[in-house]
Amino acid sequence: MQKPIYELLMLYLNGEFKEYFSESDPFKVLQRLEGKVYRQVKSRKTFQFEHNGMTYFAKLHDGVGWLEIFKNLIRLKLPVLGARVEWDAIKRLNQISIATMNVVGFGQRGWNPAKIQSFIITEDLRETISLEEFCLEWTDSPPAHSIRRALIKEVARIASVMHSSGISHRDFYLCHFLLHKEAKHFPKLSLIDLHRAIIQKRLSRRWIIKDIAGLYYSAMQIGLSKRDLLRFARHYSAEDKELTYRNNIEFWAQVEKRADNMFKRLGPAR
């Protein structure tokens, strides 16, 4: 039988999901699946579901349409074309040993960029709390210095390793760091939500500034001191010789300006 043209297909499923979808079309099954919806916008849905006693997260992307693609291009923005971006970024993070989600399924079909359908399924990172939530009460009840210092150091390390490997997250906020509550070593953090990530051979400074400013914006309400910020800059710069921004006043001024603008435009991150 001749396959329809939209069947231009990429598919990865682990054993469990191969079996689950053995008799069916994974795209259709996922679209109909009931679960707890975490996010739903026009061309994307993120939800949690259960299968064989385990919980998973699925993110489904529908074609964004040519209009959206053109609108983005006119504004010199990169359109997000689907789960492939997240799938590639997770593979890259695995190579550089940054903890992230464990992918159990990925699929993409279609050849027309405006109509590509795709999904990514990841294991639920259980027993975790986002740093946004973990740091929520820090202004009223500050944590022990050791906790604060260790977290700043680890977040700076992750940012630095990621950037020096050419990855920009592009949604680099505290809410996308999940802290494992039961890990043997503190802090164990997993980075999530990579569907806007870009990977370049050598990351341009514009993307670095965007990420760090986003992170700073998301942390503006948790009462960081000047010392904390300097600590971040020191660790961020220490990881990689190329990211020697520690004493680069102009760089940090740009980060601050961009974060301030975000605050003016969007209000507090939480």
Instruction: Return the one option of Mg ion, ligand ATP, none that residue 148 interacts with (CB less than 5 to 8 A, by type).
Output: none
The token pair that represents 168 in the structure block: 């920009």
Give the C-alpha separation, 52 to 214, whole Å: 38
> For ligand ATP, which is the closer residue by CB, 6 or 12?
12
Q: What is the spatial distance between Cα 116 and Cα 68, in angstroms, rounded to a whole number? A: 13
CA dist 245 and 65 (Å) reads: 40
Of 62, 171, 228, 260, catalytic: 171
Q: Which residues bind to ligand ATP, rule: CB under 6 A?
A: 38-39, 44, 46, 57, 59, 101, 122, 124-125, 171, 175, 192-193, 195
Distance (Å, whole) CA 117 – CA 72: 19
- Are the CB atoms for 44 and 33 separated by under 8 Å? no
Separation of alpha carbons 214 and 175, rounded Å: 11
Shortest distance, position 80 Cβ to Mg ion, whole Å:
12
Token pair belonging to 7: 């069947």
The interface partner of residue 38, options being Mg ion, ligand ATP, none and the CB cut-off 5 to 8 Å by kind, is ligand ATP
How many residues interact with Mg ion (rule CB under 5 A)?
Answer: 1
Catalytic annotation present for 228: no
Work out which of 193, 211, 215, 262 binds Mg ion, going by CB under 5 A: 193
Nearer to Mg ion, 41 or 249 (CB): 41
Which one of the spans 30-38, 133-141, 191-199, 251-259 is the region binding Mg ion (CB under 5 A)? 191-199
Residues labelled catalytic = 171
